[in-house]
A and B are shown apart, each in its own frame.
Chain A
Amino acid sequence: MSPGEVVLITGASGCGKSTLALALTGLIPARVHGELRGRVMFGGQPLSGLAPHEASQYVGLVFQNPNLQLINMTVQSEVAFGPENLALPHSEIESRVGWALDVTGMAGMRTATILTLSGGQKQRTAIAATLAMRPRVLVLDEPLSDLDPVGAQEVLGTLRRLAAEADTGVVVIEHRVDEVAPWADRIVLMDNGRIRLDRPPRGAWDDPAPWIATGVGIPDLVRLAHALPDAFPGEAPLSVDEAVATLRGGWFATALASSAQDRGTRPPKTQGLNAQPFDAQPPVLSWHDVSVTFGDHKAVDDVSLDIGDDEWVALIGANGSGKSTLTGLCVGLGTPASGTVSFRGQPIRPGRVFEHSAHVALLLQAADEMLFAENVLDELEFGFKFRAKPKDPVLDVPGAIEFFGFAGQEAVSPWELSQGGRQRLALAALLVGAPGVLVLDEPTTGQDADHLKAFLSLLDQIKERTGLTVVTVTHDMRSVASRASRIVLLGDGQIQLDGTPAEIFANTAELARWGILAPPLARLQSELLGGVDEVHLTVEALAAAVQPYRPTPVRVNTVQAK
């Protein structure tokens, strides 16, 4: 790495990214045991033999979960912790703290209590605390995992500025390749403990084979460029701005406009923005004039929402917009200050979680916290110790073992399963209770493209087999775009938009106002058309839409999506 270089390291879960990060910072072999061969060098200085506090002045590490790495109570004491440990003079500590807070944009929050910070602010505080050690290289392990899309862009902007202004080398370990790639100078793809590819972003996807083989997603804009090479005569674009600059004035923009115009003459759909689904039966879930307050803060503000049979509804919104509070109410978690919540017309009583969890299955983001038994079979049977088994369930325990791939692992401890396996087990344990609706709180956080695809396919199969209504709270716009039948955007505790993904993602400006970045393809169409009612959400659909309007028919390449 050179000074001021930003390197993105990516790869499937378990490929060795985090282990590499620990080795880079000297924590391997100092704190994590194993056999280390080779050396990590900083200039001519070997880092591998240094004590962690010495190595950390060359290479600083920001861990994945900011909650676990912020040890102090206030922002300034957290940032000062490292320099204080180095026994620096007061003036030097003061100078480092001021600088680190300025660089990360946290100067205004200097005296704030850590517990009151948002996810993005915590992440920036963790970066500031590491920067105060004045490392020459900063390594960040999945820094975007808990951030909403706008918060993620803020953190990436901070890192880019740091590299440019302070000449600090930055290593970002991330699954969210399409978000980080535009900010990176170099992309490293890891596979099974080895570096499979190491190239600048411009040429990183020239050959898609390693990406497909490792199961790491290729950015949609790159796939679009590969699918329509004549529309992108130069290099594949890494950002929406680049793609717009390339396509504006070309045949693609004209064809897209013609396609949108023709589509606009079709009869309108019955369900549009802010429309409530009509159903003769009581809705599966219903919130009626619901408000929830925490002290002086109104987390949910007069929300009315009905969710009908067979829907796959995605609740999106910035961190703190009220999504999890709203979904918690449907199983009795939390008490509304006003309004009613009901399942199939039956009111949900606050606090009666046991009672309502028979009908509403809620999978928490921290699925590990939902496992209580000694082995897989007991875990699946757990709920039946306290309530009767459902009659004729679509998915009984033996069926779930087969369906979720636990055959032969019935006696295995849940803690011996992989993280993905534990999440599947928690999901299976909820589904054997034959609930009427499945609510998922951030189910795809921190998953690589392959695991994400597998999890979404699993949900597809569950939906096909059980016909369940699915409600998901998420920041992952790609999975929303590919699966949800309806999106509800929450902002300031209120419903701001409600419609199909194609409609919602066409409102890029409104989404940005509420802290959401639409998927790159949606933003591209919106920019090129200057406002549109609906957008295409997959590369295949977009390529097919412009194909009939192109001047001369040309072959469309296909690149496997991950």
Chain B
Amino acid sequence: MLHSLLVRTVISYLLVFTVPLVLPIAFFKLVGLGGLRELVTYEAKDTPLHRLDPRLKVLYPIAMGILSILLTWSFMLIVFGLSLLPWLWLRPSRQRMRVLLVLVIGPALGGFWDQGMYYLPPAPVHFLYQFPWTISWMGSPGITTYGMIFGLEQSARVLVVVSTSMLILISTDVGDFTWAFERFGAPPAMGFALTAALRFLPEMISRTTLVLRAVELRGYDLSRPRWFQFGRWPDYIRRAARCVVLVTVPLLVGTLRGTTTMAMVADARGFGANRKRGSLRVHKLSAVDVGGYVVLVVLVAGALVLNHLHIGARYYG
């Protein structure tokens, strides 16, 4: 029975389409635009992580990203584990944690799924499940064990960077980023651009939410069908896509007006008056900072040494 063409076809279609369907639903249900706003919003707290040297915080995701590229899978797992440790310091709120988990698990699941189907190792290939010819138009012969493992590895590498960047984003005042960039010799405009982007991203998300509400109030149907109303989903997708066009004009007009005001505010507050800026912040290196720098240097140096000794280094051929 399980080996009949019909059953195998049904199972294959479920395997292929469940993940792409579940991921957007999970995003809308558990994250949504409000959740994205949460994600990029600085959370003022008094934790060691918040007090850490901003320069170290800028270097941290960069260094972890480099490590994730250099090392092999088993060493990668250690890096991944290390990247999760600082979250224990931060103790984010449950709501933020939910958003973070969706955004971490989602891409991991996606990578795991697509590489499992489309990454074909050299023969002999071990299929976890081989698709029948009825789904051959999808271009995948089936799900391979090696592909799934490969997908997990790739996802974990991306997640190291995502996790560390998110950690820094919500524990660092944008002004501290600007301060760090300026200490690294970057022009003030770069810090200002980053500040403006991070400050107004939540505003932009709020405005998008407002305009989407407004379009519904004007009679546009954006109500989502229930998951089992398969016949209504194509129409919903069509309506949602058309809505993007509709809301673009008010969003653009509002944003352009906002940026004009913001530019005048920056002018009025003397931005660009001097090549070097002063700073309210004076950072004295603490023991935690020194410890952080030591760990970072040891990690990067260790990875480079291992790489040089061909231990734990990825094979590029």
Contact = CB atoms under 8 A, between A and B. Distances in A.
Interface of A: 22, 25, 27, 30-32, 51-54, 56-57, 60-61, 63, 65, 67-74, 76-77, 80-90, 92-94, 97, 111-115, 129-130, 133, 295, 331, 333, 351-355, 357-358, 361-362, 364, 366, 368-372, 382-384, 386-387, 415, 429-430, 433
Interface stretch (B59-67, B83-91, B135-143, B250-258): B250-258
A90 B278 contact: yes
Contacts of A69: 261-262, 265
A94 B261 CA distance: 27
B268 A72 contact: no
A362 B268 contact: no
B126 interface: no
B222 A53 contact: no
A73 B253 contact: no
A133 B211 CA distance: 36
A362 B267 contact: no
Contact of A73 (B174, B254, B262): B174
Given A71-B195, A115-B202, A369 B278 contact: no
A58 to B, nearest CB: 11
A84 B223 contact: no
Given A70-B199, A387-B221, 5 more contacts: A22-B264, A54-B273, A73-B175, A114-B199, A369-B250
26 contacts: A31-B264, A53-B269, A54-B273, A63-B264, A69-B262, A71-B196, A71-B199, A72-B174, A72-B175, A73-B175, A81-B271, A83-B278, A85-B188, A87-B276, A90-B282, A295-B95, A353-B213, A353-B223, A357-B217, A357-B218, A357-B219, A370-B250, A371-B250, A382-B218, A384-B219, A415-B253
Given A53-B269, A60-B268, A88 B278 contact: yes
A73 B173 contact: yes
B233 interface: no
Contact of B278 (A56, A57, A61, A87): A87
A141 to B, nearest CB: 10
Contact of A358 (B210, B219, B268): B219
Nearest to A30: B267
B263 A369 contact: no
B21 interface: no
B204 to A, nearest CB: 11
Contact of B274 (A73, A87, A89): A87
Interface in B184-226: 188, 192, 195-196, 198-199, 202-203, 207, 210-211, 213-223
A369 B270 contact: no
Interface in B40-54: 41-44
Contacts of B207: 369
B175 A369 contact: no
A33 to B, nearest CB: 12
A353 B222 contact: yes
A432 B210 CA distance: 22
Contacts of A114: 199
A12 B282 CA distance: 48
A74 B277 CA distance: 18
Most buried by A among B93, B218, B253: B218
Contact of A429 (B93, B175, B218, B280): B218
A116 to B, nearest CB: 8
Nearest to B207: A369
B42 A56 contact: no
B105 interface: no
B217 A77 contact: no
Nearest to A387: B219
Contacts of A130: 268-269
Contacts of A90: 278-280, 282
Interface string B277-302: 11110100000000000000000000
A25 to B, nearest CB: 6
What are the 10 closest A-B residue pairs judged by CB atoms, nearest first?
A383-B219, A77-B175, A53-B270, A80-B280, A82-B269, A353-B216, A85-B270, A52-B267, A53-B273, A87-B274
B38 to A, nearest CB: 10
Contacts of A355: 223
B195 to A, nearest CB: 6
A71 B201 CA distance: 11
B309 interface: no
B217 A362 contact: yes
B216 A85 contact: no
Nearest to B175: A77
B202 A372 contact: no
Contacts of B222: 353-354
A84 B279 contact: yes
A372 B215 contact: yes
A59 to B, nearest CB: 9
A56 B269 CA distance: 7
Contact of B218 (A27, A111, A370): A370
Nearest to A352: B223
Nearest to B248: A372
Nearest to B222: A354
B268 A56 contact: yes
